[in-house]
Every structure is written in C-alpha cells, then in structure tokens.
C-alpha cells in the first residue's frame, strides 16, 4: 500500500526486462508511438502527476498511457462495498478488547504491532476517548481472480488483497490519471488503439466507459467534514476560547498532515492539501513524527467528557482539528521513543484522528485473516446480506498460530508453492514472500515467529497489453492490475455516521511476473479502468 516504501527492484529495471526477457516474450510486438508518450507526459507534468525522487526534484509518476480493461460489474461491486468496509472498521475498532485479543498472539513475533497495541492500551487506560468522532480514509485493494481454463478464462471474481486504514495514498494522482486517459482517448484515439489489445480497442471504440474518479473532491471533503465537525463541537461548548471558532485565520484550527521526511509521493499529498484549502478554506500544517514530538502539546480546553477538560492538540501555535497520518505505518517511522510518545499524544487528544490507533490495528493482516474465519464477520456486521457481500471478496486466508494450522499451511504451500503468498504484519510494500521462497521460509519458521505471519491464497488476475511509462520512456508489456477503492467515513460513538461513502479509486498495473505492487516502491504504474461489459466472451484478445 502507501505512498512510500523501499525500492529494490525499480520499475525501470522491470521495464528493461519487459523489453527483452520473459515478459517481452509474451508481449505483442510493436512500439509505443512517440507522439502518444509526449502527449501523455505533457499532460501528466502539467497537472502535477509527479513524484519527487529527492527533495526539490520532480519527475512524472510511473503511469500507463492507456486505461486498463476491467469488468464493469466487478468495479461496481467493489464500489458498493466501500461503505460496508467503512462500517466494519468502525465496529472492529470500537471493540478494543476483541482487537487486542486477536493481536495478542502476534505481539511477541511482531514488536511493531505490539507497540501500536501498547499505545492503544495506554490511551484507554487514561479514560474514555477525548474525541468520539473517527475519520477513516481507507482503501480496499482488490484483484480480479480470472485464472486460465481449458476453454478460456474462469468467470471474474473480485477478491480483496488487503484493506488499508492508514496513509491510503494515490487518490489525487489517480483522479488526475483518469482525466488524462479520457483526454488521450478523445484526442489520440488512433495512437491509443495501437497500444491496447484488440478486444480493449474494440470496446473503447464502441464507447466503453472511463468512469469519473471523484477522489480529488471526496477525499478533501472528508477532511473538510471532520474539520467542520470539530469546529462545531468546539463552538457549542460554552465559553470556548479564541482558538476554536475559526474566525481568526491566525488561530483557527488546522488540519495536521503527519508525513515522512523526504516523502516521494508528495504531489499526491499536496494536491489533497490544496483541495482542502480551495474547497473548505482549511489550512494544513505538515510535520514529521519527529517534529510532532518536538512541538506538539496538549492544552486544556473546556468540554471534555464528564465535565473534564478537553485535551486539545496544539502544534506551532495552532490548534489541530484533524490529525491525518501519511506516516506512522511502519517501524521505520518510529526510530526513537519520542515518535511513539508523539503518537500517544495525538491519540489522547481531542483532535479527530485519521486514523486512530484502533483503526490502524483493524487494518492489520492478522485481523483480515481472523475476520475471514467462519462466523467472525457476524460479530460486527448485523446484516446477513452485508456480511455475505463482504465475505464473497475474501480469498483463502490461513493462520499459522497453532501447530495444526501451521502444519496445514505447510502442506498447502508444499503441494502448490505458486498458489500462496506469505505475508508478515507489515505495510508499505516489499515485505511479502512468494512461490518457493514462501514455501521454504515457512518450512524453516520457528514457533514464536509464525504468529506474525499469515498465508494467503494467490489471486490470479488476467493479463492484458499495456504501455507502461517511466522516466520519459514507455514499453509495451503484458500487465495485470490491482483496483483500490477509497472509502471515507466520519462517525463514531454509536451514532449514525456523518460521512460514509465510496470516494474514488486507484488502478495500479504491473508487468506480469512482478510479485509486489507498489507504485512508489517502483513495482507498478498508475492506470485507470476501462469498464468492460460483463457479457464479453472470455478468451478473445
């Protein structure tokens, strides 16, 4: 997930391989029209579809020159699930006993999750939440399982890869990419047709839909709604002071973006920040966890639960209404105790958090695996229909906790090493193990290590032809895609949510044979969906 991560196989290298090696062998012959590359990259650079490999330097983000074919029905299904996943996260997060109980067994083998759980425990020990509203900007990632069969392809099946509940990124750049593809399809249809496969070109010519992507409106709107809710709470408190009514721009509350130092995916963040200003007049303060540790303080404000003071979060002389994390999801973000202390300060505060620590823990892979166990969803999802709809997207997920579970997982991977992915409790890309490496790592895994991993059935998406561009050059490759659906939620305290909706999408594509999927990590490119009617016969390319 995320906007950041280490790159040990940059896509430049992958694209070079795609041109010559295994992927090149399966890619149809042909080159990408130069005019299309320059038209696309001209658009991308003009509209900020960029990443920053080092501070002050911007290059176009890795992107595809054309949209990627995707089943219209599965796209709609994924969008419809967003509010249900939003509610599920809220319900799981509110049951801290259950959450901590599920994660308990993993804590020893996984000190990072253990430490997050400790922050949750410490915050709870200090009393009830100072802020009952929670802001979720989640992204549920899916692949469409469509394995090859003797007579074509199996029916497409939408399966969830993971649910990101912290630092879900690329919404803004993706919204731009959708517009870029619409522009290219309208103004350079002949060039686009040369880089699509025959079936996709035919569908595009016949008017297949390029769905609008509202992330650039709906993500800032969620932050804006949280800010407005905070200001409304504060202004209903009698005698609330200068800093809360939003009248004086020097003292009105801000949105705090907690970011990583040297973030590469900074344009995506800045676009969100600017849209929040333009659409809602909300100012943003950007800071790292280390800066937060040095500068954040809690000041008593009126109106806490049971007449207690409200612990308002202040940073650099400004009250913080919303604390939005684009950092804090991996151990590298907490090099010292100070960063952990800063996280606890935010957690304890009356600021609306995106996410709370409980939301973050609800998005761990262990929780994903446990929720896929029989009857687990029913504890949190009261509607049978909703539970069934959610469960239908769960791939096979296996615990390694007990001896029997471990033996079962071992047998599965030994019999079919390519059929599974071994996942540690990590976020940010580049952590999973695949194929024989997964099988041999699993075989050597000791008790005390196993609990920190889950095993997941490998999803087999269908590949399609795509032109992938990076570093001002493009190659044709067979590629597969991963769909992310953003969901925004503002609610809590058992009341009806103020916001609960699907909020745009992300489509990433990567050359066939590439296991990992991150864009910032150098594995994938940003793309957008070309919606295919479900009735299209499989097999015809």
CB 47 within 8 A of CB 459: no
Least distance from C-beta 434 to ligand ADP, angstroms? 8
The torsion angles phi and psi of 159, rounded to 5 degrees, stand at: -125, 140
Q: Which strand ranges, in their side-by-side order, compose the sheet holding 453-457?
A: 397-399, 453-457, 420-424, 433-434
Helix (H, G, I), strand (E, B) or coil at 75: helix
Dihedral of CA atoms 338, 340, 345, 347 in degrees, nearest 10, equals 170
Residue 456: name its binding partner from Mg ion, ligand ADP, none (Cβ under 5 to 8 Å by kind).
ligand ADP
Residue 438: name its binding partner from ligand ADP, Mg ion, none (Cβ under 5 to 8 Å by kind).
none
Q: Which of 139, 179, 426, 460 is catalytic?
A: 139
Q: Which of 90, 162, 203, 263 is catalytic?
A: 162
d(CA 16, CA 90): 44
Closest to 183 measured CA to CA, from 40, 392, 340, 1: 40
Nearer Cβ to Mg ion (168/477): 168
Nearer Cβ to ligand ADP (213/432): 432
Active site residue 164: yes
Residue 516: name its binding partner from Mg ion, ligand ADP, none (Cβ under 5 to 8 Å by kind).
ligand ADP
Residue number of the CB closest to Mg ion reads 1
Least distance from C-beta 158 to ligand ADP, angstroms? 13
Least distance from C-beta 510 to ligand ADP, angstroms? 7
Active site residue 139: yes
Nearer Cβ to ligand ADP (243/429): 429
Q: Which of 224, 330, 363, 428 is catalytic?
A: 428
Closest to 73 measured CA to CA, from 211, 237, 174, 230: 211
Under rule CB under 5 A, residue 525 binds Mg ion: no
Residue 136: name its binding partner from ligand ADP, Mg ion, none (Cβ under 5 to 8 Å by kind).
none
d(CA 328, CA 348): 16
d(CA 524, CA 519): 5
Which 241-300 positions form the footprint of Mg ion (CB under 5 A)? none
Active site residue 77: no
Least distance from C-beta 161 to Mg ion, angstroms? 6
Least distance from C-beta 139 to Mg ion, angstroms? 9
Residues near 426 by beta carbon (within 8 Å), at least 6 away in sequence: 112, 330
Residues near 444 by beta carbon (within 8 Å), at least 6 away in sequence: none
Q: Which of 71, 109, 140, 169 is catalytic?
A: 169
Active site residue 428: yes
Neighbour-count burial for 371-393, b at 16+ CB within 10 Å, e otherwise: bbeeebbeebbeeeebbeebeeb
Q: Which of 427, 451, 482, 532 is catalytic?
A: 427
Give the ranges where 21-137 is alpha helix by DSSP (H).
22-26, 34-46, 72-94, 96-104, 111-125
Nearer Cβ to ligand ADP (197/457): 457
Residue number of the CB closest to ligand ADP reads 517
Applying CB under 6 A, which residues contact ligand ADP?
1, 141, 143, 161-162, 395, 421, 423, 427-429, 431-432, 456-459, 482, 516-517
Residue 45: name its binding partner from Mg ion, ligand ADP, none (Cβ under 5 to 8 Å by kind).
none
Which 211-250 positions form the footprint of Mg ion (CB under 5 A)? none
CB 479 within 8 A of CB 511: yes
Strand partners, 152: 149
Q: Which of 157, 176, 366, 423 is catalytic?
A: 423
Least distance from C-beta 108 to ligand ADP, angstroms? 21
Active site residue 263: no
Least distance from C-beta 162 to Mg ion, angstroms? 5
Nearer Cβ to ligand ADP (365/501): 365
Which 1-40 positions form the footprint of Mg ion (CB under 5 A)? 1
Nearer Cβ to Mg ion (1/321): 1
d(CA 336, CA 408): 39
Helix (H, G, I), strand (E, B) or coil at 396: coil
Closest to 324 measured CA to CA, from 291, 358, 362, 351: 351
- Token pair recorded at residue 385: 């229909």
Least distance from C-beta 64 to ligand ADP, angstroms? 15
Closest to 471 measured CA to CA, from 94, 104, 101, 60: 60
Active site residue 365: yes
d(CA 392, CA 378): 14
The torsion angles phi and psi of 463, rounded to 5 degrees, stand at: -90, 150
Residue 459: name its binding partner from Mg ion, ligand ADP, none (Cβ under 5 to 8 Å by kind).
ligand ADP
Active site residue 326: no
d(CA 109, CA 114): 9
Q: Which of 462, 508, 516, 522 is catalytic?
A: 508
Residue 395: name its binding partner from ligand ADP, Mg ion, none (Cβ under 5 to 8 Å by kind).
ligand ADP
Nearer Cβ to Mg ion (285/506): 506
Active site residue 472: no
Residue 431: name its binding partner from Mg ion, ligand ADP, none (Cβ under 5 to 8 Å by kind).
ligand ADP
Nearer Cβ to Mg ion (5/33): 5
CB 313 within 8 A of CB 349: yes
Residues near 289 by beta carbon (within 8 Å), at least 6 away in sequence: 258, 327, 328, 333, 334, 339, 342, 343
Nearer Cβ to ligand ADP (111/305): 111
Least distance from C-beta 295 to ligand ADP, angstroms? 30
Active site residue 385: no
Q: Which residues bind Mg ion (CB under 5 A)?
A: 1
Give the catalytic positions in this structure: 139, 162, 164, 169, 365, 423, 427-428, 508
């Amino acid at each position: 997930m995320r906007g950041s991560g280490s790159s040990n196989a940059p896509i430049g290298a992958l694209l070079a391989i795609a041109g010559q090696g295994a992927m090149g062998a399966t890619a149809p012959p042909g080159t990408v029209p130069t005019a299309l590359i320059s038209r696309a990259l001209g658009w991308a650079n003009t509209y900020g579809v960029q990443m920053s490999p080092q501070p002050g330097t911007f290059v176009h983000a890795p992107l595809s020159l054309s949209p990627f074919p995707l089943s219209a029905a599965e796209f709609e299904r994924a969008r419809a699930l967003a509010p249900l996943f939003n509610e599920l996260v809220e319900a799981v997060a509110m049951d801290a006993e259950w959450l901590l109980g599920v994660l308990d067994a993993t804590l020893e083998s996984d000190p990072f999750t253990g430490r997050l759980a400790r922050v949750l425990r410490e915050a709870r020990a200090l009393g009830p939440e100072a802020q009952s509203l929670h802001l979720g900007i989640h992204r549920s990632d899916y692949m469409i399982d469509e394995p090859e069969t003797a007579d074509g392809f199996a029916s497409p099946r939408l399966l969830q890869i993971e649910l990101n509940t912290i630092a879900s990124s690329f919404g803004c750049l993706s919204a731009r990419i959708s517009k870029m593809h619409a522009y290219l399809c309208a103004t350079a249809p002949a060039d686009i047709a040369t880089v699509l496969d025959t079936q996709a070109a035919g569908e595009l010519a016949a008017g297949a839909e390029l769905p609008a992507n509202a992330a650039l409106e709906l993500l800032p709107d969620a932050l804006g709604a949280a800010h407005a809710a905070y200001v409304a709470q504060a202004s209903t408190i009698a005698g609330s002071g200068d800093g809360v009514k939003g009248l004086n721009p020097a003292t009105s509350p801000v949105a705090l973006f907690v970011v990583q130092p040297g973030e590469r995916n900074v344009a995506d963040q800045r676009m969100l920040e600017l849209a929040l200003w333009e659409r809602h007049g909300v100012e943003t303060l950007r800071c790292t966890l280390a800066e937060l540790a040095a500068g954040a303080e809690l000041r008593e404000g009126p109106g806490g639960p049971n007449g207690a003071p409200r612990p308002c979060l202040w940073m650099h002389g400004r009250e913080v209404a919303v604390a939005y994390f684009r950092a804090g999801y991996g151990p590298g973000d907490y090099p010292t105790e100070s960063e952990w202390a800063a996280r606890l300060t935010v957690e304890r505060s009356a600021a609306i958090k995106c996410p709370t620590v409980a939301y973050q823990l609800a998005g761990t892979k262990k929780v994903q695996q446990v929720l896929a166990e029989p009857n687990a969803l029913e504890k949190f999802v009261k509607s049978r229909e909703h539970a069934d709809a959610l469960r239908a997207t769960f791939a096979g997920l296996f615990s390694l906790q007990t001896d029997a579970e471990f033996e079962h997982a071992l047998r599965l991977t030994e019999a079919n090493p390519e059929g599974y992915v071994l996942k540690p409790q990590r976020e940010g890309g580049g952590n999973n193990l695949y194929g024989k490496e997964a099988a041999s790592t699993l075989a050597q895994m000791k008790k005390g290590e196993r609990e920190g991993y889950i095993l997941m059935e490998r999803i087999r998406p269908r590949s399609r032809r795509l032109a992938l561009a990076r570093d001002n050059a493009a190659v044709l490759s067979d590629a597969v895609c991963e769909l992310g659906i953003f969901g925004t939620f503002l609610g809590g305290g058992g009341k009806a949510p103020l916001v609960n909706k699907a909020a745009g999408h992300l489509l990433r594509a990567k050359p066939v044979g590439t296991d990992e999927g991150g864009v910032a990590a150098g594995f994938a490119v940003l793309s957008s969906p070309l919606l295919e009617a479900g009735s299209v016969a499989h097999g015809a390319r």
